Structure 1
Amino acid sequence: MDGSSGCGTPIASRRAMASSRRGSLSRCSGGSWATLMACLTLAVVHFVATTLHLIPPPDPLPDPNAIHVFVTTDEKDLRPLVVLLNSTFVNSKNADKLAFHIFMPEDREASTREQLRFVLPNVRFDVNRFDVDIENIKRHIAVRNTSVERDERCFRKELRSPYNFVPFYLPQVVKGIKRMIYLDLDIVVQGDVTELADLDMQGYPAAVVEDCMQTMANYFDFKQLRHIQSSYKGNGDNGENEGENETGGVRLERPSWLPPEVIDSKTCVSNRGVLMVDVDQWIGQNITAAIEWWIAQFNVSAADRPLYRCGMSQPPFLLSLYKNYKKLDLKWNVRGLGRVEFAEGERDYYQEQGYLRPDKRPFISPFSEKAKALHFNGPLKPWKQNRTFEGPGLERNGTEPWPLEPQWDPSISIEEQRALKLPSLCGQRLILCSAIWWRYLSPEADNLFNPKKKSARKVTKVVTDGQETARTLFNQVQTQRLRRRTRLRAL
């Protein structure tokens, strides 16, 4: 399906048509006879089109009592979306309060909606309910797409997607919502996400997990950053030399989002994989504008010394919310589970905290056993690996036990690990972290939605054909009703 009606009119266009017609009808009063007749004709057309579902009814305001969870993706494989929704839903004590809002390309909107209803009938969700200008986002990141090919580890293709930046624009379009929770697609939720709904934000625009295993120095070229700060009054020198920048030029007025103090390279970073947003504070503090501003600074930075060392949407997020966020418990974003090795700085951090210095490979997450959200950021996504299975005590269909969880063999050499790209390990038993991800996707669902299997294409066709048949039958019934009413009026 392409998100269009039986007549081939795109949903977005039909909404615009509906809005235009409603506005025209409101201007009909007090006009001439010709104007009234034109308005009457327009009213009849609008009534018939709405009755036949050619024009969708205006969306009601979001449920003010719901807990609103947002997901953005252009991933064609629906399995990570199913796992994210399923894990969040089944681990929430008040799951009936959850309302999921999914943003994705319009050409997959209708088919995704029907397929999710097929496998998650009890989950409340909508697709592309709010209007986000994807083309505008693309314009902001267009330069980046041609200038970041130098390091595929830091600038992977999926990180350059405009849907990776959509979360920064959501607070501007979510009418009627005061609090929003955003979750990255590569997350498994093991805690009760409804706990975040009552969080005291203390005036901050966002709440995220702070990660001191990495610092700002991991992401930025600080020579470039110092140059940017020194170009504005009250920046880069703690208030000294207000009139001139470091090259002797006149300083510009400082934007409100640019910190007046020197940005410290040793400051801990945060990760936006689990993001709680106070919508009013986000808008009031111009966070979206700040992110766009930092993206522009990256775009004009020298090609041989770009502002960002690594990352795509993460760096402007870090700069825009520098020391301006509420800290969530570490359990809400146990990250790095899509990686094969530790960075040297991470190994140093564990040693400084009193742990044994870990080997470079494999990546081991000591905090995963108590995690409320497991984050598979990195290139090794669970759905791109072979299926792994659950541990003892969990049963399939109430009778057949699942196979034991695969565990890591310590005898595997570093060279073999590198050749195998051994994924991350979790907990004291060192099980594959991906095994936890697979707990929320049955083999049957995996077979249905795996794009590499014919059954995935088959279920898509069945759902799509069923939707088309239902729409055709509905339109036929409505047409018959209109004809019957016309005959009765004639009699």
Structure 2
Amino acid sequence: MSSRPLIQLEHNDGTWRKMALLRKLNRVLLGLLIFMVYIILYSRMHKAPQPPIHTDVRAEPGAVGGAAGGVKGGVKGGAAEEEMTEADDDVLVVICAAEERIGGAMATVNSIRSNTEASVFFYIVTLHDNVAYARQYIQKSELKDIRFKILEFNPTVLKGKVRPDSSRPELLHPLNFVRFYLPLLVVKHRRAIYVDDDVIVQGDIQDLYKTKLQPGHAAAFASDCDLPSEVVRTMGMQTTYMGFLDYRKLEVRELGINPSDCSFNPGVFVADIERWKRQKITKQLETWMQQNYKNNLYSSAMSGGVATPPMLIVFHGKYTALDPIWHVGHLGWSPDTEYSDASLHEAQLLHWSGRFKPWDYPCVHMELWEKWYVPDPSRRFALVRPNS
């Protein structure tokens, strides 16, 4: 018999084995390629967000009794300066300083430090472009003796959480959301006070700081229904949840919150930082921001903009009520609605919440705010008055 068929068979068998090996190799390479694509997509989807607060920059010294600590820290665009550190017995106050409202923030700081004997440490939070301006305002004015840090807020953390809204653009300012991230600012302390920049403190801030929180509560706010009766009457439903949430939306109705429940003002509050972290308050607030971004549950057209409703939802029935004298608010609600002299005299804290700010015109009770105003050394910020 001829051996030719056997040779041909062996040849065919070798070719088949090579083809099988190539197919297996191709499958392995394809599997590796798919795996690499998956890893890339996963890493992009789960990429860690940028921290909202740059705490490694902007540590600013004051000049009271020599700054504590001896750590040298560089400030971008400036000389190295001694870093301020907080003491355990400090009253910690967090306040935002937007460029266009910086005079308001400085008036707030001045009123606080002028009406207490306590050791106060200020965390002043601003955006990158305003850091040098805020530092200069303090260091070249009568505020140069305060103890403070300037922290830079990173607005990219709000991407996908805040829906653009042109009805009241000022309510969409990134610094309106700083209060959501308190545990990332206040690292060493268990407690902090947050105040808006349209606030004047007439009492001793130490008394507010010592507010006793009810068991399980992470914060204390002032109820809007505790306002003087003449103010509540003019505001109508803007003192209730109906004024902040869109009850036509199923997600809002499913919360089970009575629309006539009293709202509270998140522009002034005392926070227990440890409880805030344990209860994951920041995560809850971000969740409701994302819900609104998708479903438009509230908007800037409503009274509180988009920063107040998440606070109202997360803290509903879970906050301690402040003594009403520690929040006489809504002085900026109308240029015509004035408070009685008695309520203004008794007030430990005045809040010009609303559209009409005391550094602008018109506004009520401007004289009570202006006594604490610190002129801008650079003259970039100026009061708006009838004769200006």
TM-score normalised by length of structure 2? 0.69
Q: What SS does the aligned partner of 2:248 have?
A: helix
Q: Report the Cα offset of residue 221 of structure 1.
A: 1.6
1:101-142 CA distance string (max 9 Å, x none): 1011222212321331221122211211xx64421124421x
Provide the aligned C-alpha RMSD in A: 3.2
Q: Map of 1:14-25 to 2, 5 A cutoff?
A: none
Q: Report the Cα offset of residue 223 of structure 1.
A: 2.8
Alignment-derived partner of residue 295 in structure 2: 301
Maintained 8 Å contact 2:196/2:267: yes
Q: Map of 1:123-138 to 2, 5 A cutoff?
A: 123-128=146-151, 132-138=153-159
1:13 and 1:282 map into 2 onto residues whose CA distance is: 20
Q: Map of 1:352-371 to 2, 5 A cutoff?
A: 362-366=336-340, 367-371=343-347
Structure with the bigger RCO (C-alpha within 8 Å, sep 6+) is: 2
2:261 and 2:156 map into 1 onto residues whose CA distance is: 34
Alignment-derived partner of residue 366 in structure 2: 434
1:285-331 CA distance string (max 9 Å, x none): 1111111111122122259x869844221111101111110110111
1:45-64 CA distance string (max 9 Å, x none): xxxx98xx999699675322
Alignment of 1:197 with 2:137, yes or no, is no
Among 63, 75, 91, which residue is 1:67 paired with? Answer: 91
1:289 and 1:190 map into 2 onto residues whose CA distance is: 34
2:338 and 2:109 map into 1 onto residues whose CA distance is: 26
Q: Report the Cα offset of residue 281 of structure 1.
A: 0.7
Q: What SS does the aligned partner of 2:221 have?
A: strand
2:223 and 2:205 map into 1 onto residues whose CA distance is: 18
2:192 and 2:258 map into 1 onto residues whose CA distance is: 30
2:92 and 2:299 map into 1 onto residues whose CA distance is: 37
2:55 and 2:344 map into 1 onto residues whose CA distance is: 47
Q: What SS does the aligned partner of 1:365 have?
A: coil
1:229 and 1:77 map into 2 onto residues whose CA distance is: 33
Maintained 8 Å contact 1:14/1:54: no
Maintained 8 Å contact 1:79/1:449: no
- Cα pair distance change 1:134/1:180, threshold 3 Å: same
1:89 and 1:58 map into 2 onto residues whose CA distance is: 21
Alignment of 1:223 with 2:248, yes or no, is yes
Alignment-derived partner of residue 125 in structure 2: 103
- Cα pair distance change 1:193/1:290, threshold 3 Å: same
- Cα pair distance change 1:435/1:229, threshold 3 Å: closer
The unaligned stretches of length 5 or more in structure 1 are 1-11, 17-48, 231-235, 237-258, 342-361, 386-421, 425-432, 454-491
Maintained 8 Å contact 1:132/1:169: no
Alignment of 1:157 with 2:161, yes or no, is no
Q: Report the Cα offset of residue 269 of structure 1.
A: 0.6
Alignment of 1:113 with 2:107, yes or no, is no
Q: What SS does the aligned partner of 1:121 have?
A: helix
Q: Map of 1:328-339 to 2, 5 A cutoff?
A: 328-339=322-333
Letter in 2 for 1:317: M
Maintained 8 Å contact 1:77/1:449: no
Q: What SS does the aligned partner of 1:165 have?
A: helix
Letter in 1 for 2:351: H
Q: What SS does the aligned partner of 1:223 have?
A: coil
- Cα pair distance change 1:423/1:448, threshold 3 Å: same
Q: Map of 1:69-468 to 2, 5 A cutoff?
A: 69-94=93-118, 97-119=119-141, 120-128=143-151, 132-141=153-162, 144-145=163-164, 148-149=165-166, 152=167, 156-202=168-214, 203-212=216-225, 213=232, 214-224=239-249, 227-228=250-251, 236=254, 262-301=256-295, 309-310=302-303, 311-340=305-334, 362-366=336-340, 367-385=343-361, 423-424=363-364, 433-441=365-373, 445=375, 449=379, 451=381
2:218 and 2:55 map into 1 onto residues whose CA distance is: 35
2:138 and 2:114 map into 1 onto residues whose CA distance is: 15
Letter in 1 for 2:261: T
Identity, % of aligned positions = 26
Q: What SS does the aligned partner of 1:374 have?
A: strand
Q: Report the Cα offset of residue 13 of structure 1.
A: 9.7
Alignment-derived partner of residue 9 in structure 1: none
Q: What is the count of residue pairs matched by the alignment?
A: 298
Q: Report the Cα offset of residue 279 of structure 1.
A: 0.2
1:378-403 CA distance string (max 9 Å, x none): 22212123xxxxxxxxxxxxxxxxxx
Alignment-derived partner of residue 462 in structure 1: none
1:186-225 CA distance string (max 9 Å, x none): 111111111122222123110110112411111112131x
Name whichever of 319-328 and 112-121 sits farther off: 112-121
Alignment-derived partner of residue 4 in structure 1: none
Q: Map of 1:464-479 to 2, 5 A cutoff?
A: none
Alignment-derived partner of residue 46 in structure 2: none
Maintained 8 Å contact 1:209/1:270: yes
TM-score normalised by length of structure 1? 0.55
1:217 and 1:14 map into 2 onto residues whose CA distance is: 38
1:22-59 CA distance string (max 9 Å, x none): xxxxxxxxxxxxxxxxxxxxxxxxxxx98xx9996996
- Cα pair distance change 1:313/1:448, threshold 3 Å: same
Which structure has the larger Rg?
A: 2
Q: Report the Cα offset of residue 169 of structure 1.
A: 0.6
2:307 and 2:212 map into 1 onto residues whose CA distance is: 26
